[in-house]
Amino acid sequence: MKNLRRKTLAAASAVTLGVGLALTSGLAPAAATGPDTSYLVLAPQGANTDQAAARVAAANGTVVAAYKQIGVLVVRSTNPDFATRVAGTGVESVAATTGLGTALDEGETVEVSAADVASATGGPTNEPLYGQQWDMDMIHVPQAQAVNAGSSNVVVGVLDSGISSTHPDLATQIAKDKSTSCLGGVADTSEAAWNPTTSDHGTHVAGTIAAAVNGVGVTGIAPGVKVASVKVVNDDGYIYPEAAVCGFMWAATHGMRVTNNSYYIDPWELNCRYDARQRPVWQAVQRAIRYSNSQGVLNVASAGNSNYDLAHKLSDYGSPDDGTPEARENLTSACMDLPAEAPGVVTVSAVGPTGAKSYYSSYGLGVVDVTAPGGDTRFRTQGVKSTLTDGILSTTFNTTTRTNGWGYKQGTSMSGPHATGVAALALSAHPGLTAGDLAAFLGDTSVSLSCPEGVYNPVPLIPAGPTAYNATCSGGERTSFYGAGMVDAYNVVK
């Protein structure tokens, strides 16, 4: 697999707090010398966690969060033999999550200058920067908002790096009572905890979904709905499995109907069920997603920016991204991109201003469900250089100056929230839809797109090489590039 992800934030190991004891011959228990480590401990599916919790205590571990509905415990321990000692009756599997963080594929943010903001002219929604939001016209947002701009009863969970609660386009849009930080797998509802610290990724995503129509900046797809900040990305840009599990469970237990997930779990692009170390993570995430579905939550995820055919996984040469990459070959369908390939998740690819697949967007027949605008800043020059305004304009937060603004990003991280915003409009217009019905409705109301003929590569002059972004589309009514087609905001509310 080539160009799996661009690591834009500094790497760090997962160092967590805990206590532990080790026995020495003839002496009372003494403090263990192992590193502070975080673990996921899973009880058997359907069983309660009491036996598992007892085994954790006996193995000198501390339960820091218990998700009893799915039989998952988040544990910390300094006992170097914890994983061995905790095994037994009541424990199905255990995995240390140290080293299992995934760097957020954030990409570059290009801010709009204050002068450009001041001189901008409004569009159909009377927002000053609307004229630069080509993506909104592409999916018929003005027509949709004339019918239904969204209901405040619909809360969208943005599982990301936090949302700026002081942004003028977002301050009125955030459900503060449903926002939290899930870092470490433990919910912290203080406002400072769920605000951004080192990344504006979540702020940008939130603006696409629900930026206010208030005569300032941009418009979101569904400005009438609310967004909740569910922070799962730590200050070093990593998404650890326990944070993702906490995020899905928080959404499920706090009345959210849709979540947006523009990230990967685990440092491996493909998480393999047969890998002894990865399997507990795979199980825990799957359980959390299934539970959230059962509580009426539809989870939307980005397909990825690797120009990779997720339906034909043969090799992975770029993982893990938090260490030295290893060559993995002869992979099978048991290796999945999480959360994008988990059952019940709507997976979204990206298109640029022409409606054709963005050069970077991953794809896959039977994997991609729908497509949406994610930006393509290189198609005009065939890859030579970027045209910034062909990216996605949304809300930003400068983490250096601590100021709010607006700027461009591109990626499937940007296409995902377009589908999420359309899903929020659909729920506003049809509140009785179940999570499964909503997923089907998104596909049924999408605008079908045909495969381009032959080998597709809009950027043959890109510095990476003339064939670096070759891709071949397949399928009929549903295609590997676009799934059921382009999401359409008007179609879900008319």
Which tens digits make up the pLDDT trace of 419-475? 999 999 999 999 999 999 999 999 999 999 999 999 999 999 999 999 999 999 999
Domain assignment present for 15: no
Same domain, 226 and 327: yes
Q: How far apart are CA 315 and CA 329, in angstroms?
A: 4
Same domain, 260 and 204: yes
Count of the separate structural domains present in the chain: 2
For residue 169, give the 3-state DSSP assignment.
coil
Higher pLDDT, 414 or 323: 414
pLDDT attached to residue 57:
97
pLDDT attached to residue 124:
62
And the tokens for 426? 């659909």
Listing DSSP states for 19-54 in one string gives --EE--TTS--EE--SPPEEEEEEPPTTS-SHHHHH
Same domain, 63 and 212: no
Same domain, 269 and 400: yes
Of the given ranges (13-17, 37-41, 447-451, 463-467), which has the lowest mean pLDDT?
13-17
Q: What CATH code is carried by the domain that includes residue 81?
A: 3.30.70.80
pLDDT attached to residue 393:
97
> What pTM did the predictor assign?
0.89
Phi, then psi, of 440 in degrees rounded to 5: -65, -40
pLDDT grade for 276, boundaries at 50, 70 and 90? confident
Find, among 388, 369, 368, 353, the residue nearest to 458 by Cα. 353
Q: How far apart are CA 323 and CA 328, in angstroms?
A: 14
Planar angle of CA 364, 321, 85, nearest 5 degrees: 105
Q: Which of 76, 97, 118 is the last residue of a domain?
A: 97
pLDDT grade for 322, boundaries at 50, 70 and 90? low
Q: What CATH code is carried by the domain that includes residue 358?
A: 3.40.50.200
For residue 130, give the 3-state DSSP assignment.
helix
Of the given ranges (63-67, 184-188, 309-313, 472-476), which has the lowest mean pLDDT?
309-313
Q: Which of 64, 97, 130 is the last residue of a domain?
A: 97
Most confident of 22-26, 127-131, 162-166, 276-280: 162-166
Taking residues 74-87, report their average pLDDT.
96
Same domain, 32 and 118: no
pLDDT grade for 265, boundaries at 50, 70 and 90? confident
pLDDT grade for 26, boundaries at 50, 70 and 90? very low
Q: Which of 70, 97, 124 is the last residue of a domain?
A: 97
pLDDT attached to residue 28:
36
Q: What residues contact 414, with CB distance under 8 A and at least 6 apart?
A: 204, 205, 208, 262, 350, 373, 374, 375, 391, 392, 394
Same domain, 224 and 194: yes
pLDDT grade for 8, boundaries at 50, 70 and 90? very low
Find, among 96, 97, 247, 249, the residue nearest to 182 by Cα. 247
CB neighbours of residue 98 within 10 Å: 16
Taking residues 25-47, report their average pLDDT.
74
Domain assignment present for 103: no
Of the given ranges (80-94, 134-148, 249-263, 269-283), which has the lowest mean pLDDT?
269-283
Higher pLDDT, 296 or 273: 296
Domain assignment present for 228: yes
pLDDT digits (tens, 9 = 90+) for 345-379: 999 999 999 999 999 999 999 999 999 999 999 99
Q: Work out the percent of the chain whose per-residue pLDDT is above 70.
A: 88
Roughly what angle, to the nearest 10 degrees, separates helices 201-210 and 412-429?
40
Of the given ranges (1-5, 122-126, 178-182, 364-368), which has the lowest mean pLDDT?
1-5
Q: Are 104 and 238 in contact (CB under 8 A)?
A: yes
CA-to-CA dists, residue 485 to 124, 138, 209, angstroms: 25, 13, 19
Length of the chain: 494
- Indicate the DSSP class of residue 297: P
pLDDT attached to residue 25:
31
Domain assignment present for 261: yes
Same domain, 81 and 135: no
pLDDT grade for 6, boundaries at 50, 70 and 90? very low
Domain assignment present for 154: yes
What amino acid positions are annotated as catalytic residues? 160, 201, 413
pLDDT attached to residue 31:
46
Tokens 């995430």, residue?
285
The burial class, CB within 10 Å (0-12 / 13-18 / 19+), for 78 is buried
Domain assignment present for 105: no
Domain residue limits at 46: 21-97
Average pLDDT of the chain? 89
Same domain, 87 and 127: no
Domain assignment present for 102: no
Domain assignment present for 410: yes
